Structure 1
Amino acid sequence: MRDTRTTDDLFAQLGPLKRYAYSLTRDRGEAEDLVHDALVKAIERERQFRPGRNARSWLFSILHNTFVDRRRACAVRAGVEMPSDASVDVAQPASQHDTLRLQDVRRSFLALPEDQRAALHLVAIEGLSYEDAATALGIPVGTLVSRVSRARAQLRAIDADESDNVVRFRAKGGSPDASV
């Protein structure tokens, strides 16, 4: 019989798994399917989990490998395109500026190369250590550090380019209390 604590631990990671799946697929429905398939595999492979290992990175590893397997299968089927955009629900109303900024950041993040996006998501959003994220992705720690660094640099460059396009106005004369 399945250990209830293990199953509870598995489902406690549902939110982070969904976020990571969405960052990989860029499609809410496909992300849900990916998480489902990964959880089925995790339950089937529960006996392979080594005590003392980080369950979270183990689950992210299964999710990532499931995603890679799906991409390979999709590439075999010529002409099949995967959806590349989906809407995001916002929990609280935000100002127009904040909403536009969030859309810009999201668009920039999703435009990152897949390997950089996956690395940055696990480290910056999910809070995995570099070691755990590298394990989840099946890459050396140095490679992960490099990918995260390149992703952050690319996002900073995009942000700098956008701020260069901002037109700033400076009022001359008058008082700050004067009505316009």
Structure 2
Amino acid sequence: MMIIEGPRVRLRPLTADDRARAQEILATPEVALWWGDAVHEVESLYEVEPGFASYAIDLDGETVGLIQSSEELDPQYRHAGIDIAIDPAHHGRGLGTEAIRTLAHHLFAQGHHRLTIDPAATNTTAIHVYTKLGFRPIGLLRAYERGPDGTFHDGLLMDMLAGELR
């Protein structure tokens, strides 16, 4: 994995030293609402699988969020998915938008023709940001993932083709 530079943010591979900060971000109530158990989710960020990459989102030397990509490497179906979490103390500053745009440019440059993202269907803030970037809703994933309350909730599958990134 490499460091990916955006206009303001820097995406760098997660290291063992990032574990506590990652857990802190994922444990904030605003993030945990969508991500679930912070300890479990942090461990999943460190899973090493082909095509899977996790990055710290740094702004002026401070880690303000986390972003990951999962790539389908089969040439017949080559595409990538993105997931993101921003520390609520940094919400509303366009940092998540910039981080996604930066990673999307990188993934398209790597040869992917399509990107996906799958927010909770009720996460209107995330859906607004993703739509602004060029993602389009393509389907409702019923009872898609278990929420922190133990019940399953719907997800919204969204995608973007190369050339649609705004």
Same fold per superposition (TM over 0.5): no
Query: TM-score band (shorter)?
Result: under 0.3
- With structure 2 as the length reference, what TM-score do the two structures score? 0.28
> Highest relative contact order (Cα 8 Å, sep 6+), 1 or 2?
1
More helix by share: 1
Normalised TM-score (structure 1): 0.27
Greater Rg by CA:
1
